[in-house]
Structure 1
C-alpha cells in the first residue's frame, strides 16, 4: 500500500505477522487462492475497520431485490434479498500468483461487516447467509435473504383495488445505494410478475443524513408500491353477490298475491347472510377503516331487506284490506289508480257489468212461480254480493299491483344508481 501507517491503530495493524500495511495476501505454489495462514491474520483483525489509513472511510453499498409479498393483513410481510457491498483493504491478492483465483467465499462471522440497521420493521425472522464472496481487489458481497414484517399504514378503503405504499429505511454511518432505484424496481418486477396476489408497481427511494448530536448517519429510504390483483376477489365475492342481487330483482316477477314471494325473499336473505359470514374471512380487518366492498355488501343486504319489506306491504294490501271488504278510499283511487298508474303506464281490463233482469210489472203469476222467482231473487242477491266482494278484491288487487310496480321501479332505480357509483369509483382506482 502506498499510504504509510501514521496513527496508533495503524501502527498496531502493522505489527501483525503478515505486515498487512505493506503487502498483499500470500499464496503458495500448487494451492489455489490465498493461504489459510495469511487469511487467519485478517480474521484476527475482525474488531477493526478494514482500512489501512483510518482517515479513509469504508462505504457500505446496499441494494435489494423483492422476491415475494407473503401477506398484507394488519402488517406487511416481505421476502427480499439484501445485497451489501464494501471494501476490505486487507483481503487483496494477485490472481497470477494464486493460480488465477479471482474470487473466494469466506465465513462472514470471521470478518468485519458494516452495521446496517433496518428501521420501520416489527420483526426480522430471517437467517443471514453465513458466507460472503470476496474478489481479489478486496471488494466483498454479502447476500442476505430477509423476511421482514413491516408495519405499513394500510389503506384498504378501495379493496380489492387497493394500492399500498410500504416504507423501508436502512441506516449506517456511511451507506449509499449500489444500484439505481429504477434498476432495483426492474429486478424485483421480474420475480413478482407471476407471484401471489400482489403486483409491484414501483420502488422509489431517497438518501438523507440523520444527525444524533455529533454523529451523522446516512439514511436510505425505500418506498415499495404494490397493487393487489383483484381477480380472485371479483370472482369469489363481487360476482356471487351480484347474482344474488339479480335473483332478488327477478323475484318481483313472482305473483304479488302469492305467499311464495315472501318466503322466497326470506330464504334469499338467509343465503346472503351465510355468504357474508363466509366472505368475512377474505376481507382485510384493520382499525384504519372499513373497505368500500364491506359497505357494498351491507347496502346490498339492506336493499334485500327493503325488498322483503315491500313484499310485506303489498301482501298486506292484497289480503288484509280486501278480506275486510272495505271500499277503496277515494283518495287512493285518485292518487294510486289514476295518477300513479298513468305515471308507470299500468293498464288493466275494464270491469264487466252485471246484467240485471226483472219481471214485468203487473204480471200475475201462480204461487209456485212466485216462489221460484223468490228463490231466484235470493240467488241473484247472493251472486250480487259475491260480485261486489270480487269487485272489491279486484280493486284492492289493482292498488296492490300499481304499488308493486311503483316500488319495483324505485328499487331498480336505487340499485342502478348504487351500481353506477360503485363501478365509477372502482374504475377510478383501477386507472390510478
Structure 2
C-alpha cells in the first residue's frame, strides 16, 4: 500500500469513509456462540476507518452482540459463579496463515446495575487455539467472570425465613392447653414459608438438580413442620393422660361406694376393734398415696427439651449449609 506523503500525517493517521473498508482485504472473523449481532445506525453506520502512517489499517464499529454462555451450572444458586467466553476466530484461515491478537478495556463505572459482579480477563492459553476438523485456528477473546450478589437474597429470603423458623420456637413457651394460639401460629408460619417458596422458585434458573436456595427453603419448612408434629405429639400425650386420670377417678369413686356398703354391713353384724400399730394403718396410707397418684405430664418436659433441641438443629444446619457451599465456591471458582 502506497501512502500519499503530501497529506497531513501530523496526527499519525488519516480518517476516511468507513465504507472504504470494502476496497481492502479484511479477515473473515466469526464470533463463537453468537445469537445476534447488530450495528446501530443514526444517519450512517456508527464506524470509523483510519489509515496510519505505519501502513496499518484501523477499523472500529459500534455493535451490540448477544452470545450464549454454555455450561452454566446453577446448583449453588444464589451463590453461583460462572465463566462466560467471548471468542473470535477466523472461519477459513488456519493458525499458520493468520494469528489473532488484541487488547480490551473494561470501565466499571459505565456498567449498568446487574445482579452480578463482573470481572474480565484474557483467555487462558489452552483456549487461544480452536481445533477444527481440518486444521487449528487462532482465537482471541476474553473470559467474563460473573459472580452473583448475595446481599439481596440475604435481605429478601434468608433473613425472613430464618426469622420465621425462630418465631416457631415461641410455641414452646405457650401452654399446651391454649390450642388455638399454637395451632394458628405454626400453621401460619408454615403456609407463609410455602408461599414464599413457590414465589421464589418461579424466578430460579432452570437447573438439573436442586439448588442451594431450594435446599434452604425445604429445610426451613421442614423445621416448622417438625414443630407442628411436636405439638401434635404433646396433644396426643395430654389426651391420654387426661383419659387415664378420668378412668382412675371413676375407679376410685366406685371403690369408695363399695367400701361404704361393706362398713354398713359390718356395723349391723359385728364390730371388730382395731389394734393399734396394725397393718391397717399401713394399708390406709398406701391407699391415700394411690389416691394422690397422677400420671406424669410429659408435655412440659417435651417443650422444655424442644427449646434446646430445635435451636441446636437449626444451628447445625446453618453450619453445614454455609460451610459446604462456601467450600464449593472456593473449589469451583473459575
TM-score, reference length from structure 2: 0.70
Gaps of 5+ in 2: 249-286
Is contact 2:78-2:150 (8 Å) kept? Answer: yes
Q: Distance in 2 between matches of 1:234 and 1:97?
A: 59
Q: Distance in 1 between matches of 2:11 and 2:222?
A: 80
Q: Distance in 2 between matches of 1:146 and 1:108?
A: 22
Query: Which residue in the other structure is 1:226 paired with?
Result: 146
Structure with higher Rg: it is: 1
- Equivalent of residue 126 in structure 1, options 38, 55, 67: 38
Is contact 1:164-1:226 (8 Å) kept? Answer: yes
Deviation at 1:315, TM superposition (A): 1.3
How many aligned positions are there?
Answer: 275
2:221 paired with 1:297: no
- Structure 2 vs 1, CA of residues 428 and 132 (structure 1 numbering), >3 Å: closer, same or farther? same
2:38 paired with 1:117: no
Query: Which residue in the other structure is 2:304 paired with?
Result: 405
Deviation at 1:327, TM superposition (A): 8.2
2:195 paired with 1:195: no
Query: Which residue in the other structure is 1:255 paired with?
Result: 175
Deviation at 1:323, TM superposition (A): 3.0
Deviation at 1:189, TM superposition (A): 5.1
1:135-146 pair list within 5 angstroms: 135-137=51-53, 138-146=56-64
Deviation at 1:217, TM superposition (A): 2.8
2:78 paired with 1:160: yes
CA deviation profile, 1:60-103 (whole Å, cap 9, x unmatched): xxxxxxxxxxxxxxxxxxxxxxxxxxxxxxxxx64339999832
Deviation at 1:144, TM superposition (A): 4.0
Q: Distance in 1 between matches of 2:327 and 2:120?
A: 19
Deviation at 1:406, TM superposition (A): 2.5
- Equivalent of residue 241 in structure 2, options 313, 321, 325: 321
Aligned residue for 2:106, secondary structure, equals: helix
Aligned residue for 2:177, secondary structure, equals: coil
Deviation at 1:221, TM superposition (A): 5.2
Deviation at 1:429, TM superposition (A): 5.5
2:4 paired with 1:102: no
- Structure 2 vs 1, CA of residues 412 and 210 (structure 1 numbering), >3 Å: closer, same or farther? closer
TM-score, reference length from structure 1: 0.56
Is contact 1:203-1:223 (8 Å) kept? Answer: yes
- Structure 2 vs 1, CA of residues 313 and 242 (structure 1 numbering), >3 Å: closer, same or farther? same
Is contact 2:102-2:140 (8 Å) kept? Answer: no
- Structure 2 vs 1, CA of residues 114 and 132 (structure 1 numbering), >3 Å: closer, same or farther? farther
- Structure 2 vs 1, CA of residues 104 and 98 (structure 1 numbering), >3 Å: closer, same or farther? farther
Q: Distance in 2 between matches of 1:99 and 1:168?
A: 33
- Structure 2 vs 1, CA of residues 402 and 326 (structure 1 numbering), >3 Å: closer, same or farther? farther
Q: Distance in 1 between matches of 2:9 and 2:149?
A: 55
Gaps of 5+ in 1: 2-22, 26-92, 329-383
Deviation at 1:115, TM superposition (A): 1.2
Q: Distance in 1 between matches of 2:67 and 2:187?
A: 45
1:278-289 pair list within 5 angstroms: 278-287=199-208, 289=209
Higher relative contact order (CA 8 A, sep 6+): 2
Deviation at 1:244, TM superposition (A): 0.8
If each structure's helix is expressed as a fraction of its own residues, which one has the higher value? 2
Is contact 2:173-2:303 (8 Å) kept? Answer: no
Q: Which moved more, 1:270-279 or 1:145-154?
A: 145-154
- Equivalent of residue 271 in structure 1, options 192, 216, 221: 192
Is contact 1:156-1:284 (8 Å) kept? Answer: yes
Is contact 2:75-2:207 (8 Å) kept? Answer: no
- Structure 2 vs 1, CA of residues 264 and 211 (structure 1 numbering), >3 Å: closer, same or farther? closer
Deviation at 1:156, TM superposition (A): 1.8
Deviation at 1:426, TM superposition (A): 4.3
Q: Distance in 2 between matches of 1:169 and 1:204?
A: 10
Q: Distance in 2 between matches of 1:310 and 1:303?
A: 10
2:178 paired with 1:178: no
Q: Distance in 2 between matches of 1:94 and 1:243?
A: 78
Is contact 2:186-2:228 (8 Å) kept? Answer: yes
Is contact 1:193-1:199 (8 Å) kept? Answer: no
Is contact 1:103-1:134 (8 Å) kept? Answer: yes
Deviation at 1:276, TM superposition (A): 1.3
